[in-house]
Amino acid sequence: MNGTDPRETDEARALREVVRALLAKRSGPAEVRSAMESPLGYDDKLWSTLCEDIGVAGLGIPEEHGGLGAGLAEVCVVLEELGRTLTPSPMLGSAVLSGQAVLATGNDDECRRLLPGIAAGSTIAALAWSREDGSWSPDHPACRAREGRVDGRAHYVLDAAHADVLLVVARTDDGVGLFEVAVDGAIRADVTTMDPTRRLATVEMNAAPARRLDLGDYGPALSRARDLVTVALAAEQVGAAARALELTVEYSKQRRQFGRPIGGFQALKHRMADVHVHVEAARSALYGALTGDDLPVDAATAKAVCSEAFEHAAAEMIQLHGGIAITWEHDAHLYFKRAHGSAQLFGRPAGFPDATSG
């Protein structure tokens, strides 16, 4: 493991500062609520600014395919900041998940055709993969491909309802492949989710004409792409957990009981200290995933630790804010819902009880 945190280079710090400054101006609590209730589920003008002025969608995409060729660490820096504010955006589903799935094909022609738009943020791509039970296994995708057509119904598809490009992971006679299906060749439907800041949909195809993108033996490359996206999600969880703790500490200094701020009571200090330790453990797990040499294990560890830390921070945020935290007007319940929804996305880590994403 490398001793230098790639999220703390001069370039990464500058990226963090500029993204945080933009979100502070344009993605406060009121703007987040407006975005999540909009037809798209996100603020397209903010997304355009993030992409055109900062280049966030192209960070993980090589320069030869229209991206910035930065790397996973820089992607994680952006997702930490988006997680802090719960900003709805196509970053995770389109730029990271779909972008990595296309890159994993190793098909230069298809990468040149699809990735520049995704990297620019002007094309929103959605990846249909998961079964209804929440499994994101490359060996058991929800759909099946035969003779240039795809059948099946995928669940928990990010950004599907308004996607410009629809990608489908499907079983084939020779294993698993990645296919492109025309958006009008599928039935796409948003579903009610626990987390209103993250849109999920079902995508159903009935003998939909499909174009195969991979060159064969796609399973191992797809597994690696899933692990990279899992690390990116862990970064988002770290950012949100840290912010949930910050907001709770701030509130504990303002709310008074028995003539003193509640943050002065020893029992509450201990509870917030426990959350702090858990969040720092999550940061370490994310660091390990970015610098380790066993991506499948490191990604699974990061997902497990960061999911636990975020759920812990969100639960204590609810408890220590008291009754106000469960009102619609307060943001605590949004962090709580994001925590539990994120823990299910891309598969529940080993050792967690089974649940559904929405």
With contact defined as beta carbons under 8 Å apart, do 229 and 223 qualify?
A: no
Task: Name the residue with tokens 């849109």.
Answer: 199
Return d(Cα 71, Cα 91) in angstroms, integer: 14
**Helices 219-254 & 266-291 angle (0-180, nearest 10):** 160
Return d(Cα 65, Cα 323) in angstroms, integer: 50
Return d(Cα 78, Cα 73) in angstroms, integer: 9
With contact defined as beta carbons under 8 Å apart, do 134 and 344 qualify?
A: yes
Residue 357 has pLDDT above 50, yes or no: no
Comparison of pLDDT for 263 and 117, the residue scoring more:
117
pLDDT at 8: 87
Residue 353 has pLDDT above 50, yes or no: no
pLDDT band at 324 (very low <50, low <70, confident <90, very high): low
pLDDT digits (tens, 9 = 90+) for 7-17: 889 999 999 99
pLDDT digits (tens, 9 = 90+) for 79-123: 999 999 999 999 999 999 999 999 999 999 999 999 999 999 999
pLDDT band at 317 (very low <50, low <70, confident <90, very high): confident
Residue 280 has pLDDT above 80, yes or no: yes
pLDDT at 248: 84
Question: What's the mean per-residue pLDDT of the chain?
Answer: 90
Per-residue CA distances from 15 to 116, 151, 183, 339 (Å):
21, 42, 34, 25
pLDDT at 152: 97
| DSSP character at residue 350 | T
Return d(Cα 203, Cα 161) in angstroms, integer: 9
Q: Which two tokens stand for residue 204?
A: 């159903």
Q: Which ranges constitute the DSSP H helices of the chain?
A: 10-26, 29-36, 44-49, 72-85, 99-103, 108-120, 219-254, 266-291, 295-321, 332-344
Task: Name the residue with tokens 């509870």.
Answer: 271
With contact defined as beta carbons under 8 Å apart, do 95 and 128 qualify?
A: no
pTM of the model as a whole: 0.92
pLDDT at 318: 87
With contact defined as beta carbons under 8 Å apart, do 109 and 143 qualify?
A: no
Of residues 169, 168, 200, the one with CA closest to residue 182: 168
pLDDT band at 253 (very low <50, low <70, confident <90, very high): low
pLDDT digits (tens, 9 = 90+) for 181-221: 999 999 999 999 999 999 999 999 999 999 999 999 999 99
Tell me the mean pLDDT in the region 136-164: 95
Of residues 282, 317, 320, 316, the one with CA closest to residue 301: 282
H/E stretch holding 181 reads strand 175-181
Q: Which residues does 186 contact at the CB level (< 8 Å), separation at least 6?
A: 128, 166, 203, 204, 205, 208
